[in-house]
Structure 1
C-alpha cells in the first residue's frame, strides 16, 4: 500500500491509500501482514485468510476456556465438596458430616483447619423446597454458601442469632414473594434468607473446650437439626457421619474434567444463577443448560490446553501474586499475605468502583473455601482472620528438606485462640506426614515459650528435637509447603497491625535430637 502520510493537529496519522478519494486515519486500517503472539496474520484488503481465521478462532476458544476456568473455580470447588460429602454418605439435608476428632490430613479439603470441629451438610432446595436449619446455642462461626460459593447467611457467633441459637429458613431461588438478595428477614420465628441457587453448603464450626473437640461434637449431635419445612411437624431423624481419619476428596479438577464439574452445576441450577455475560462466556465453550457438553476433538484439545494455562494462572495468582495489596505488611519485605484482597467478601475492587476484583476471587477460591463477611470485615472478638505464607524471609519457596523457625510474638491478638497449619501446595490440603495433624494450636498444644512470652515454631523433615518436642511441625524432603496463621476472635492489634507474626527463617540443618535451636 503506497500512500502519502500526513499528521493532523492531534497527531493522528492520515493516509490516502489507492482507491480512496480522501485521507483516512491509518489507525483504522489493517495491513496485509501482522506479526503477533499467535503467529503471522495475513489479510487481503482486510479480509482474513482461512489460516488467519483458524489461528484467531483457536486463540478465541482457548482464551475463553482459560477465563471459564478462572471464573468457574468457585462453582467447581463447591460441586467437588458436594460430591466428596456424598461419597461418605452425606446425601440428604438431614445428613451431616462431622470431623468428630478434628479434620486430619487424610481428607483432601482446601486449607481446612485442624482447630475447630467441622459440621458439613448440603441443601437441595429444588428437591426439598424451603429448608429449616436449627442452630444450637454457642455455635462457632458458621455460614451458608450457594452453588457459586456466594454468601447466603451467617449463623452462630457472627450470625443473626449472635451465638444464642435459632431457626434459619432457607428459601429456593424460585420461591414467590419479595425476598431481595442480601436482605434477611425474621418471620414466624425464623431468620429467613433466600438463595440464588438450589444447592447450598451448610458449614458450621464448633470450638474446642479445654483442648478437646468432644463438647462441640456433642453440641452438633444433640442440637443441630436440618429438615424440609414441609416436614416440620415430624422432621426426619438426623444422621451424623464422622469423617475424622476418612480418605476422601473435595477438591475440583485441574484437567479437562473441570469443565464436566462445571457443566453439572450449570445443568442443575436456574439460569438466573449467573448473569447473561458469564452465562454467554460459559456457553461459548459448549457448556449450556439443557444441552449435552460434548466437545469435538478440536475443542477438547483446546480446552485441555486452556485448563492447563488456567491452572498455572491460578497458581501464579496464589503463590507468585503480583497484587501488592495481598501483602499484609508492604514495604517491609514480609511474605505474609491475605487471602481476601480488597476487604470485600463480594470481591469488589475499591468498593465497586473498579468492578469485580477477579484476580482476588481466584486467589482465594483456588486455595480456600467458605465465603463470609466474618472472615473479611473487622469484627473485634468475633469471626476469624487469616494470613498465609509460602516463602521464607529470603524470598525462597518453603522447601520440606530445610529446617525453618517461625516466631509468634507474645500477646497474640486472638480472644479465642490462634493456630498455624501446614499445607501441601499441590492439593492445598493439610500436608500428609507422620503427624496426622500438621499444626500447632494455642489451645491444645503444650507449646514451649521463650522468656519473653513468644513462641518459636520449627518446621523440618526430621523427628522433633528434644528441646522443643511440642513446637515441631514435620515437613517432607523433596516437597514444598505453605503455612496459614489463624486468629479466632481477632482483636484490635491484628487489624491496626501493632502486632504481627515473625517471618519464616531458614536455619542450619539440625540432626534428630539436637538441642539449642
Structure 2
C-alpha cells in the first residue's frame, strides 16, 4: 500500500481539523445554520463548528439582541418617559409636586419649557397621584379646553368644550387602576378610571377676556371625593425650564423610575420581558452593569435617531393636502391601538415631537376642537433650514370658528424656538394679532428665516445658527372647508 506524500497528508489532516474559520463566509441570508459554516453578519463573522458557536459569538449575539431591543424600547416608551420628565421638571420649577397645585404658564419663557407648546392661550397643568384614592374635580363653566390624561398621555376624559360638560361645567370623579368606578356612581357625576396611578390635568383658557381667568380659578375645586377645595395656582414665576426627555443613561433612569411607580398593563408585558436583561425590572432598583450601561447609552441615541426619522418621515401616513408636505400631526387613535396592533410608531412620532392628547385634538369636529398641521420641508421637498429665508402664504378666510396660529419650534428640543426673543410674537403669530400686515385680498404672508423682509418685520419669525426648525399651523375650531379639503395651505417657498 502506497503511503501519501507526507506534506500532503499533513495538509489533509490540517484541513479536516481546521474549524469554519478557513471557509469562505456566506451572506447572512444564505446561511444554513448547520455543520461547519462561517456567516457574515452585521456584527462580524459568526463561526459554526458542528452547528455550534463559541462564547465570543454568544456574547456578541446577546449584545446585538439587547441593543436592538433597547432601541425599540426607546420608541415604545417615548410617551411614558416624556410624561414623567414633564411632571418632575415642572414640579422642580414651579413647586407643583404638591397635591392640588397647578402651574400657570403664560409668558414665552414659561411656555418654552413645554414640548411644542401652544403660545396663544394660557396653560394650566397639574399632576395628581391617585394611589391614595380617587379625586373629584368640580369643573367651572366657560370657554376652556383640556382633559385628564394618564401617564401614557392617553385621554381619560376631556374637559370643557369638548368634554361631557360641553363648556357648561360639571363634576367629575377619576379613580385609579386598582379602584372600582362603579363604587362612585352618583347622579349627575361623571366617573372615569385611569390605567395609571398618576394623571395629568391640563386646561387651556380659550375665553379672550383676561378677566375670565380669575373667575375660572376661583370656581375650580379639586380633592378627595366629597372633600374638594380650592386649588393652588402658581402664576408669574417666569422661569426657564425644560420638559424635553433626557438623553443617554438618564432616559433609562427616568423609565425605570416611572415603571416602578405604575402598574404594568397587559399590553406592555412583552416590553418588560425585553427590558429585564438590560437591568430594568419592575420592583427592582436600576443599577446597570458596565455592559448594560454601554448598550443603553448607544440604544438611547439610536432609538432617538429612529424616532426622529419617524417624526420627519411618517411612513405610515399620507400628506393631508396632495402635492404638499403638510401632515396632520395627530394621526392615530385615542387608545393608541386598534383591534390588531398597538400604534407604537404613530404615537412615538407625536410624543417625541409633542405632549398630551385629547378627544378634541384627535377627533375634532367642524367648529370644535383643534387641528395641528406640521411640515418639515419646503415646496421643492427639501428640508427646512435655519440659514435660509422662507415665506408661507396663508389664504384669506382660513376656515376656523375661533382663530389660527403659526408657531416655530426647534427640532433639537421640540420646544418653542429660542431665537433670543422675549415675547410670544417672536416665535408665534396668529390671526388675532393686530401687528399682522394683511394683503389687500385678506391673505397673509408669514416669513421664517434669519433675515426679516424690509417693512414686514411684524410678520417674521427669526431662525438662528444651525438650529433646525419646524412649525405647527393650528386651526382652532376648524370648519368644514378644512375637513373636505377645499381649503389648502401651500408649502413654504424659499425667498431668494
TM, length-normalised to structure 2: 0.88
Give the aligned partner of residue 339 of structure 1: 329
- Answering whether residue 457 of structure 2 is matched by residue 458 of structure 1, we say no
User: Take 2:378 and 2:150, find their aligned partners in 1: how far apart are those partners?
Assistant: 36
Q: Which runs of 5+ in 2 are unaligned?
A: 1-30
Give the aligned partner of residue 243 of structure 2: 250
TM, length-normalised to structure 1: 0.84
| 1:52 aligned residue (54, 57, 60) | 57
Dislocated runs of 4+, deviation >6 Å: none
1:117·1:208 contact (CA, 8 Å) conserved in 2? no
Deviation at 1:250, TM superposition (A): 1.4
User: Take 1:249 and 1:215, find their aligned partners in 2: how far apart are those partners?
Assistant: 29
Note the aligned Cα RMSD (angstroms): 2.2
1:417·1:488 contact (CA, 8 Å) conserved in 2? yes
Q: Could you report, residue by residue, the CA deviation over 1:301-357 in whole angstroms, capped at 9, with x for unpaired residues?
A: 11111111001111111123433x242224x1x11122223x422334xx534x122
Deviation at 1:153, TM superposition (A): 0.8
Give the aligned partner of residue 207 of structure 1: 206
- Answering whether residue 469 of structure 2 is matched by residue 442 of structure 1, we say no
2:135·2:223 contact (CA, 8 Å) conserved in 1? yes
| 2:300 aligned residue (298, 307, 310) | 307
- Answering whether residue 82 of structure 2 is matched by residue 82 of structure 1, we say no
Shift in CA distance, 125/207, structure 1 to aligned 2, threshold 3 Å: same
Give the aligned partner of residue 147 of structure 2: 143
Q: Could you report, residue by residue, the CA deviation over 1:476-510 in whole angstroms, capped at 9, with x for unpaired residues?
A: 133221111001111111111110112111112xx
| 1:352 aligned residue (339, 342, 365) | 339
Of the structure 1 ranges 485-494 and 141-150, higher mean CA displacement relative to structure 2 is found in 141-150
2:481·2:487 contact (CA, 8 Å) conserved in 1? yes
User: Take 1:274 and 1:111, find their aligned partners in 2: how far apart are those partners?
Assistant: 28
Shift in CA distance, 302/370, structure 1 to aligned 2, threshold 3 Å: same
Shift in CA distance, 44/124, structure 1 to aligned 2, threshold 3 Å: same
- Answering whether residue 275 of structure 2 is matched by residue 288 of structure 1, we say no
Give the aligned partner of residue 92 of structure 1: 98
1:104·1:430 contact (CA, 8 Å) conserved in 2? no
Deviation at 1:420, TM superposition (A): 0.4
- Answering whether residue 489 of structure 2 is matched by residue 493 of structure 1, we say no
Count how many residue pairs are aligned between Structure 1 and Structure 2. 462
Q: Could you report, residue by residue, the CA deviation over 1:267-299 in whole angstroms, capped at 9, with x for unpaired residues?
A: 111234753223222333221222111110011
Of the structure 1 ranges 428-437 and 29-38, higher mean CA displacement relative to structure 2 is found in 29-38
Residues 6-405 of structure 1 aligned to structure 2 (within 5 Å)? 29=34, 32-87=37-92, 88-99=94-105, 101-104=106-109, 107-127=112-132, 129-176=133-180, 178=182, 187-209=186-208, 214-229=210-225, 231-232=227-228, 235=229, 237-242=230-235, 245-272=238-265, 275-323=268-316, 325-330=317-322, 332=323, 334-341=324-331, 343-348=332-337, 351-353=338-340, 355-405=341-391
Q: Which runs of 5+ in 1 are unaligned?
A: 1-25, 180-184, 509-517
Shift in CA distance, 177/247, structure 1 to aligned 2, threshold 3 Å: closer
Shift in CA distance, 40/451, structure 1 to aligned 2, threshold 3 Å: same
Shift in CA distance, 406/370, structure 1 to aligned 2, threshold 3 Å: same
Shift in CA distance, 80/220, structure 1 to aligned 2, threshold 3 Å: farther
Of the structure 1 ranges 214-223 and 400-409, higher mean CA displacement relative to structure 2 is found in 214-223
Deviation at 1:154, TM superposition (A): 0.8
Shift in CA distance, 31/204, structure 1 to aligned 2, threshold 3 Å: farther
